[in-house]
Amino acid sequence: MSSVAVLTPESFAEHRSGLKDQEITGCVPEDEAYIPTYLEAFPPLPEKGAPGEKTGEPALPWGSKIRPIKASVITQVFHVPLEERRYKDNSQFGEGEEAKVCLDIMQRTGAHIELSLAKDQGLSIMVTGKLDSVMKARKEIVARLQTQASATVAIPKEHHRFVIGKNGEKLQELELKTATKIAIPRPDDPSANIRITGTKEGIEKARHEILLISAEQDKRAVERLSLEKAFHPFIAGAHNRLVQELSQETGARISIPPPSLPKDEIVITGEKEAVALAVNRIRAIYEDKKRKTTTISVEVKKSQHKYIIGPKGNTLQEILEATGVSVEMPPLDSASETIILRGEPDKLGPALTQVYAKAKSVMVVEVSAPAWLHRFIIGKKGQNIGRITQQLPRVHIEFTDGEERISLEGPTEEVELAQTQIQEIIKDLLVRMDYTEVNIDQRFHRHLIGKNGANINRIKEQYKVSVRIPQDSERSNLVRIEGDPKGVQMARRELIEMVQRMENERTKDLIVEQKFHRTIIGQKGEKIKEVRDKFPEVIITFPDPSQKSDIVQLRGPKNEVEKCAKFLQKIIADLIENSFSLSVPIFKQFHKNIIGKGGANIKKIREETNTKIDLPTENSNSETIVITGKKNNCEAARDRILAIQRDLANIKETEVAIPAKLHNSLIGSKGCLVRSIMEDCGGVHIHFPSEGSGSDKVTIRGPAGEVEKAKKQLLQLAEEKQVNNFTVELQAKPEYHKFLIGRGGANIRRVRDRTGARIIFPSPDDTEQELITIVGKEEAVRQAQKELEILVKNLDDVVEDSMEVDVRHHRHFVCRRGQVLRELAEEYGGVAVSFPRTGSSSQKVTLKGAKDCVEAAKKRIQEIIEDLESQVNVEVAVPQRHHRAIMGPKGSRIQNITREHEVQIKFPERDDSAAGQDASPQENGDVSPEAEFVPRKCDIITISGRVEKCELARAALLALVPITEDIEVSYDLHRYIIGQKGSGIRKLMEEYEVNIWVPQPERQLDVIRVTGLAANVERAKLGLLERVKELQAEQEDRALRSFKVTVSVDPKFHPKIIGRKGAVISQIRKDHDVSIQFPDKGDDQQDLIVICGYERNVEEARQAIQQLVSELQEMVSQDVHLDPRTHARIIGARGKAIRKLMEEFKVDIRFPQPGSDEPDKVTVTGLPDTVDAAIDHLLNLEEDYLLSVTETETLAAYMKPPSRHGGGGGAGGLDDSSGGPAKGFVVRDAPWNAAGNKAPDMSSAEDFPTFGTGVAPKQTSAWGPKKF
């Protein structure tokens, strides 16, 4: 620790070396003769962004990356099982101790807690709040609401690592196996005790397993004795006292398996002599008890067994201690009621007496009570039942929903007393209370309840009854009313009246265009309010605007709904009539004339025609004026507006007759053609009649010359379109159309190719189904028309013909409701094909229709027969369990095969009796698996068709048979592959189109089974193995990153290690990629800092922290006295200068607060050398700044303004005997001293104007013209 130097005023003055205090008076300083240069007196400012200049701060405060805002509120949910709940009074849930505890925790921590009761009576707890509040709340909840047993087991410290296992695998396995939490002390902790937390049975199992592991690793003697399980209690003694005494006497460690573990083996470890002695003693006890003891069996009701066992098995231990008899109980999950007592004959009697006493110490009684009375028996907030349980705390009362009984359990006398009290309550309630059930249609339930329960709550309060309306999911019509008999009847009457009123209600839908909805509703709903006031019993519902629906719903009494509907329809009719719209193009320059002065013209037109006229905005390019109202009124307004335009300019209007069918082609895509003509002809307006009007008149309006030019261009374009748009219509029966088109459009394509004309057949939606349109050049259209007319004429010549078809093929044509015959008729111009009746031996088939169609149909039938005769049946044996997978969704896969290969596939009938025989077949689905596959009738799939196509179909069918492949995947990785809520496994199954089976966790198998198509299974296997590699790599990385080291650091250094806003510790974390945790305020060991990460990084971070601590330990603080006038200069703007100085010298500098007793005291903290260097630098700065301060003060006195009356002092307060103007401040090499420049006249009010004077400046003044 270096000594601290204390600066005195004398040493400080000495340090300044040469700075002498001069009394500033009216005298001239010694250096008066020296005249500074202009650059010395007025040094130039440094240039912005000069090279090498360090500002110490970023150029812009917003240039740095903005950290993302993190949510300050978090939510955590956890579960407390029933057996671990401290308060289990379910009848008072939400009102008992649990609620009080939660309220207290919420007040103490500021977190929000919500409790809910699960179906298993476990407790679900949701905690919401800031992170630290949630953590504190959760800690208190676990401590105050959850009970768990815990125990410790001591094994040698060197054996701990064997319990943990490689990468903690053994410990995880042990915790999973025993359902406990095992806490092993850290290596630096001298304690050898391992703490086990969990259920008593789990603790016993874990303790036994840990002791076994320790025994196996113990280098001393280990002896295993296999003795009958029945004699273990005698060796262990009551409460394990005998085995503990034996361990203490011999010095050997004796491990006896707990009763729940079905093992006979007792393990003894320790020194050889001690083990041998313990073995002899145990064998002696065993031989003695085996020789002397006998057994008796008794039958006790299964329900009473738990009272014999007692809490945590204490009762059995008490019987063993008192009588020396072991009581062997059957497992709780067993149906056996036999209890075996083992002991010496003279002691079996007293033991049996105790067993019966314990069995009968608790009584279970059931009291009959209607289920609807249960909640009244319990009372409001459990008041009634609470009085009984407070008086008789050892009686447990249980109500079961839906059952007409109440269970009481406890000591016999108290149970009988509680039974009497409950029966009295039931008797009283049956006298005072009544209930009834009303059958009400479910559709009325929500109306009975009302908005936010208004109706039903009113009935409950008015009649003091309880009304239970079933949930929609129950699909029940029974409404139950409970309470005072008179109130029940009155409530029932009111509910029935409400239902009758609702049954008289009617709902009517009005179709109203959505564009009128807003108008009908009116501003702020004023108009619809008037309608509702007029029809108060009718509910009018408009659809949400986002639904784009036109349906307005009316609901209420039938007559009122009808009246309201008529009223609304009248309003709608008026709206429709007044919603006619016209668009009038008017040249932009005439819009102001149409508006008139102050809007007079447009207002007059609106009023006289009763229309709404909208003009485009002034800065809009549109020239269209929109008129809305009744049709006649709109047309009148349009004529008046056009008349104004004609009067104002030489506007000509002409009409051109162009066939309506050419209008769309003349307008062009999005109006491009007509727009080009209008732009080319000086902005004329061309108006086509509305589509569907049938009018041929096209109106052109604009300047006379431009109108003629536009007319010429329009007619020329129409002529071109007419030439290439010649159209002819042809009539042909709809049934001929498919024949004219041909298979795949072959016939019609030939006509098009030969003639070049386009032939359009009617779509199914067209009204004229017989009309065929031919479009193109006139010559091509005529030629195509001629060819089609010939074809149609041939089709009109109906002929009748016949052919011979073998009887065995008839079924193919007539099956499936004549599907093949329908296809022939559609394809060949409606030809009628008649086959002989079923059962007839005739082979004659009659065809009737157009000659060409009949010939084509005969040819097609012959082709089908040839295919049928060459057909073969191929059988494919596939296990029945795969048939559904082969078919695919809705048989899509089979349909694809039949369509692609032109075959028929028939699946056998399902044989459910054979399903059980498929339990262990070969899963790869091949027809010849390794395990012998004997095809059954239900396994045979039949394929019919040509030989070569059947073979192709067979191969395609077998390719669809799913295979199953087992992939070896470590059990530890299964949960990661499954993913959160199964998302990972679902993604794999969807991506590869396979089914993936993961074994149950308790089986702990290292295999995953993949089923699907062979190609998909192979892809899934590769994908799964790739995922396994990723998980293994993550696991290895996680293990490497979990290396931990604790560093002991005095808490006083923690703030310095953390740094301002965590800057220092964040930098260490970032530099070394580690996690560093500081102790919480309530922790016992406040000096421990935990570092976690990769081993090398952790070591480097530890060294960095230790180095930082060593530097902090070496730091000293020294005070230095600096003139307060210099503090602001040293600190700099916004502390910039002092921060730079602290960074440069690696010290912390603290200035006194305003109003401090020692305003000149500055504290410097850091390493001794850096503190001394920083103090020296501060003193130097003070010296420089004091000189500047002194000069400034001197200059201020020297530069006092001269007296306006000449009697004042000169510069610096000097007397001037001449009484002339002051000398002023003089500099050398000033800009005005250069050749051609004139020095400014300091006495001139023009060169140096005084604010507020009225001197008029000259035009050449450098200050510019004066502003008034």
Give 1184-1233 pLDDT, tens digit per residue: 888 877 777 776 665 555 544 444 444 334 344 444 444 556 777 777 66
Average pLDDT over residues 815-830: 77
* Cβ contact 483:440 at 8 Å: no
Give 999-1019 pLDDT, tens digit per residue: 888 888 888 988 888 888 888
- In this predicted structure, the answer to whether residue 27 has a pLDDT above a threshold of 70 is no
User: What is the DSSP code (8-state) at residue 146?
Assistant: B
Rounded CA-CA distance 470/181 in Å is 45
How large is the C-alpha radius of gyration of the chain?
A: 52
pLDDT of residue 218: 66
Other Cβ atoms less than 10 A from the Cβ of 376: the count is: 20
Residue with tokens 């004066």: 1266
Q: Specify the 3-state DSSP secondary structure of 785.
A: helix
Q: What DSSP line would sit under 1232-1249, residue for residue? A: GGSTT-----TT-TTTSP
Rounded CA-CA distance 346/292 in Å is 11
Contacts 24+ apart (CB under 8 A), 700-708: 700/653, 700/654, 700/655, 700/656, 701/585, 701/651, 701/652, 701/653, 701/654, 702/587, 702/651, 702/652, 703/649, 703/650, 703/651, 703/652, 704/650, 704/652, 706/681, 706/682, 707/652, 707/653, 707/654, 707/681
Rounded CA-CA distance 685/653 in Å is 9
Rounded CA-CA distance 364/1266 in Å is 110
User: What is the DSSP code (8-state) at residue 87?
Assistant: -
Rounded CA-CA distance 528/1207 in Å is 91
pLDDT of residue 136: 80
* Cβ contact 549:514 at 8 Å: yes
Give 727-761 pLDDT, tens digit per residue: 788 888 777 777 777 766 777 888 888 887 878 78
Instruction: Report strand pairing: 651-657 vs 697-703.
Output: antiparallel
Lowest mean pLDDT among 48-57, 736-745, 1111-1120: 48-57
| Distance, CA of 861 to chain centre | 62
- In this predicted structure, the answer to whether residue 152 has a pLDDT above a threshold of 60 is yes
Give 188-245 pLDDT, tens digit per residue: 888 888 988 876 667 888 888 888 888 777 656 778 888 888 888 888 888 888 888 8
- CA nearest 395: which of 379, 413, 380? 413
3-state DSSP percent of the chain in helix, strand and coil, to 5: 50, 20, 30
Angle between helices 412-432 and 383-391 (to 10 degrees): 160
* Cβ contact 856:828 at 8 Å: yes
Angle between helices 1095-1114 and 1063-1072 (to 10 degrees): 150
Average pLDDT over residues 830-855: 80
pLDDT band at 913 (very low <50, low <70, confident <90, very high): low
- In this predicted structure, the answer to whether residue 165 has a pLDDT above a threshold of 70 is yes
Q: Any bridge partners for residue 397, and if so which?
A: 408
Other Cβ atoms less than 10 A from the Cβ of 619: the count is: 5
Which residues, in sequence order, are CB contacts of 333 under 8 Å at separation 6+?
none
Rounded CA-CA distance 367/375 in Å is 15
Task: Take residue 82 and report the two structure tokens written for it.
Answer: 């029933």
Average pLDDT over residues 711-739: 76
- In this predicted structure, the answer to whether residue 1041 has a pLDDT above a threshold of 70 is yes
Rounded CA-CA distance 852/858 in Å is 10
The percentage of residues in the chain with a pLDDT greater than 90, rounded to a whole number, is 0
Task: Take residue 239 and report the two structure tokens written for it.
Answer: 């409460």
Alpha helices in 179-199 (DSSP H): none
Could you give the angle at the alpha carbon of 188 between the alpha carbons of 187 and 192, nearest 5°?
A: 65
Compute the Cα dihedral for 343, 348, 354, 355 and give only its sign: positive
How many helices (H) and strands (E) the chain has is answered by: 45, 45
Average pLDDT over residues 344-362: 82
Residue type, position 451, single letter: K
pLDDT band at 300 (very low <50, low <70, confident <90, very high): confident
User: What is the DSSP code (8-state) at residue 548?
Assistant: T
Task: Take residue 563 and report the two structure tokens written for it.
Answer: 């009246």
Lowest mean pLDDT among 277-286, 345-354, 916-925: 916-925
Rounded CA-CA distance 256/264 in Å is 9
Rounded CA-CA distance 322/304 in Å is 21
Rounded CA-CA distance 201/181 in Å is 13
Rounded CA-CA distance 1030/907 in Å is 44
Q: What is the mean pLDDT of the chain?
A: 78
Could you give the angle at the alpha carbon of 400 between the alpha carbons of 397 and 401, nearest 5°?
A: 140
Which residues, in sequence order, are CB contacts of 1072 under 8 Å at separation 6+?
1093, 1097, 1098, 1100, 1101, 1104
Residue with tokens 């630098």: 1177
Other Cβ atoms less than 10 A from the Cβ of 1077: the count is: 12
Instruction: Report strand pairing: 771-776 vs 726-731.
Output: antiparallel
The percentage of residues in the chain with a pLDDT greater than 70, rounded to a whole number, is 84
pLDDT of residue 1251: 54
Q: What DSSP line would sit under 1201-1241, residue for residue? A: PPPTTS-S--GGG---TT---------BS-GGGSTT-----
Give 1082-1091 pLDDT, tens digit per residue: 788 888 899 9
Average pLDDT over residues 519-544: 84
Could you give the angle at the alpha carbon of 1252 between the alpha carbons of 1251 and 1257, nearest 5°?
A: 75
Burial 110-143 (b: 16+ CB within 10 A, else e): ebbbebeeeeeeebebebbbeeebbbbbbebbee
pLDDT of residue 1223: 52
pLDDT of residue 1245: 62
Q: Specify the 3-state DSSP secondary structure of 895.
A: helix
Give 1124-1137 pLDDT, tens digit per residue: 888 888 888 888 88
Rounded CA-CA distance 875/943 in Å is 6
Residue with tokens 């063993």: 320
Task: Take residue 1174 and report the two structure tokens written for it.
Answer: 């920083």
Rounded CA-CA distance 379/167 in Å is 57
Strand order across the 872-877 sheet: 872-877, 940-945, 904-906
Q: Any bridge partners for residue 1092, and if so which?
A: 1044, 1075
Give 226-238 pLDDT, tens digit per residue: 888 888 888 888 8
pLDDT band at 427 (very low <50, low <70, confident <90, very high): confident
Q: Any bridge partners for residue 37, and if so which?
A: 1228
Contacts 24+ apart (CB under 8 A), 661-667: 661/725, 661/727, 662/718, 662/721, 662/722, 662/725, 663/688, 663/689, 663/691, 663/698, 664/691, 665/721, 665/725, 666/714, 666/717, 666/718, 666/721
